[in-house]
Chains A and B, each alone.
Chain A
Amino acid sequence: MTFDVFLILNSIPTMIEGLGITLKLLFLSTVIGLALAVVTLLMRLSGHWLLTWPAMFYIYIFRGTPILVQIFIIYHGLPQFEFIREGVLWPLLREPFGCCVVALSLNAGAYVSEILRGGVLGVDRGLHEAGKALGLSTPHRFIYITTPIAVRLAIPAYSNDFISMLKATALASTVTLMDMTGVARTIVAKTFAPYEIFIAAAIVYLCFTWTFQRGFGLLERYMSRYVKKDA
């Protein structure tokens, strides 16, 4: 067995071609997922069963099943129905890229809404009371007191979820998308040098996870600048 370091170095530029799709998937599903998460969170906090139950059901379904299965249901499964194939969403759901964005966004929405809820519940009750005692209205308390503190509390968990999302984009290769993992699998099929090629891909992923982790670390430090260090 030979281990060809040059093959690793040579394959990295090819791998970068798949990077575009990986990052596009990550960006779109993060943004859409965050929007879904906020809506779901507000539904859960509303306290009205007509809003909380659907939100909880949505979270339950998407946290309880593998993302791979979600992608397969949306990509392979939905075309089983006539009304999907003739519906307005068909141009989106016909493409593997659209399906992956839908699946990853829905998944992120469910997870992130729970993370944000954890942040909101972590805000000290005394601060609500102080806000009330000063006569701040409920929306004002939510915007100026709860939100900034909840966001700070949620960042570590959110950063983990963001990294999970990056890793989940690799599943797009299972529905023929040429993301980074997809490109790597194609090269391996040609060269049959799995160690070199897959490790090259792993190195590129690691660079990104490391960078994102650093970024979130800095963000967290900035958001926590008012917290006592030794506490």
Chain B
Amino acid sequence: MSVIYGWLDEYFWGATVVLKVFGVSLVMAVLFGLIGSAAKLSGNRIAGILAGGYTVVFRGTPELLVILIIYFGSAITLTTVSQAFDPDIQFIDIPPFWAGALAIALVVGAYMTETFRGAFLGVDYGQIEAARALGISNFKTFIYVRMPQMWRLALPNFGNHMLSLMKDTALISVIGLEEIVFVAEIATTVTVKPFTMYAVVAVIYLAITTVLTLAVAGMEKYANRHLETSR
């Protein structure tokens, strides 16, 4: 067990990287999900087709492949574009952190699109009619009437998507992000204790997902507080 102590610092920094990727990626995924679901519900044909294509492609392609496409693809694109301005530039790539965060946000955002869409549709149509009767504009109805009610319905699935997102961060080690799986790889080559080193990674992930699960449960309780009966 004592072999772990020498690596605690590295694991700690790796874990902060995991949390940073998670935070950045979650914000992007929620944005993609909101835009996607709004496009699907807009009634605009072109927006609907684009959003439909987005969800089909990113829910149907392995996360690992999406990460590889974004990382290597963006490197090629960036290099070509910048060589057009300055032929002396050798090679540019975007950091694995941003490529990875964007890639998993695109995937999870596709799932969130569907969840948000279902939740928006789950809000009673009478609510929209009531808002309309009061003369509230469609946009304001969306923001003030439908969104607050939609969250409650979306929460259970949203929680699951957050857990997937958290676990997907492990894949970014494949393109060289120095997070905890990466730390375990390095530590293994030094200590030759692969089980111990990867078990630490599993325990860290388990701890984070447990906290997330509890947080979502708390949020659900809060979101449903107006439904609790007085008895």
Binding site for B on A (CB under 8 A): 1, 60-61, 63-70, 72-73, 76-81, 163, 166-171, 173-174, 181, 184-185, 188, 194-195, 198-199, 201-202, 205-206, 209-210
* In the complex, the 7 A-B pairs of residues with the closest C-beta atoms, listed nearest first: A77-B195, A194-B72, A170-B62, A1-B80, A209-B60, A66-B170, A66-B167
**B-side contacts of A202, CB under 8 Å:** 57, 61, 65-66, 69
Q: Which of B76, B195, B210 has the most CB of A within 10 A?
A: B195
Does B29 have its Cβ within 8 Å of any Cβ on chain A? no
Q: How far is the CA of A51 from the CA of B65 in the complex (A)?
A: 39
A170 contacts B64, CB within 8 Å?
A: yes
Q: Across the two chains, which residue of chain A brings its CB closest to B201?
A: A69
A163 contacts B60, CB within 8 Å?
yes
Complex Cα distance A65/B197, Å? 14
Given contacts A1-B77, A68-B171, A181-B62, contact A76 B198 (CB under 8 A): yes
* Complex Cα gap A199–B77 (Å): 15
How far is A13 from B54 in the complex, measured between Cα atoms in Å? 26
Any A CB within 8 A of the CB of B181:
yes
| B205 within 8 Å of A (CB atoms) | yes
Contact B69 A167, beta carbon cutoff 8 Å: no
Interface residues of B in 53-87 (CB under 8 A from A): 56-57, 59-66, 68-69, 72-73, 75-77, 80-81
- A179–B72 Cα distance when bound, in Å, is 20
List residues of B (166-196) whose CB comes within 8 Å of A's CBs: 167-171, 173-174, 181, 184, 188, 192-196
Q: Does B209 contact A (CB under 8 A)?
A: yes
16 A-B interface contacts by CB (under 8 A): A63-B209, A64-B210, A66-B170, A70-B202, A72-B198, A77-B197, A80-B193, A167-B63, A170-B64, A173-B64, A184-B65, A188-B68, A194-B69, A195-B72, A198-B73, A202-B61
The answer on a CB contact under 8 Å between B77 and A68 is no
B206 within 8 A of A: yes
Whether B217 sits at the interface, judged by CB under 8 Å, is: no
Within 8 Å of chain A (Cβ to Cβ): is B199?
A: yes
For A68, the chain B residues whose CB sits under 8 A away are: 170-171, 173, 181
Interface 0/1 of B195-225, CB less than 8 Å to A: 1111101100110011001000000000000
Contacts A65-B206, A73-B202 known; A205 to B170 CB distance under 8 Å? no
CB distance from A18 to the nearest CB of B (A): 12
Are B199 and A77 in contact (CB-based, < 8 A)?
A: yes
| B interface residues, how many (CB within 8 angstroms) | 45
Inter-chain contacts of B69 with A (CB < 8 A): 194-195, 198-199, 202
- Is B72 touching A188 in the complex (CB atoms < 8 A)? yes
- The reply to whether A194 and B68 form a contact with Cβ atoms under 8 Å apart is yes
CB distance from B157 to the nearest CB of A (A): 11
Query: Which residues of chain B are near A169, meaning CB under 8 Å?
Result: 62
B63 CB → nearest A CB, Å: 6
Which A residues lie within 8 Å of B59 (CB)?
163, 209
* Cβ contacts under 8 Å, A170 to chain B: 62-65
Q: With A66-B205, A167-B61 given, is the CB distance from A81 to B167 under 8 Å?
A: no
> Given A66-B168, A198-B73, do A73 and B65 touch, yes or no (CB 8 Å)?
no
Residues of B within 8 A of A174 (CB): 64, 174
Which B residues touch A66, using CB under 8 A?
167-171, 181, 205
Contact A72-B64, Cβ < 8 Å, known A79-B194, A188-B72, A195-B69: no
Contact B61 A206 (CB under 8 A): yes
Closest to B210 in A: A64
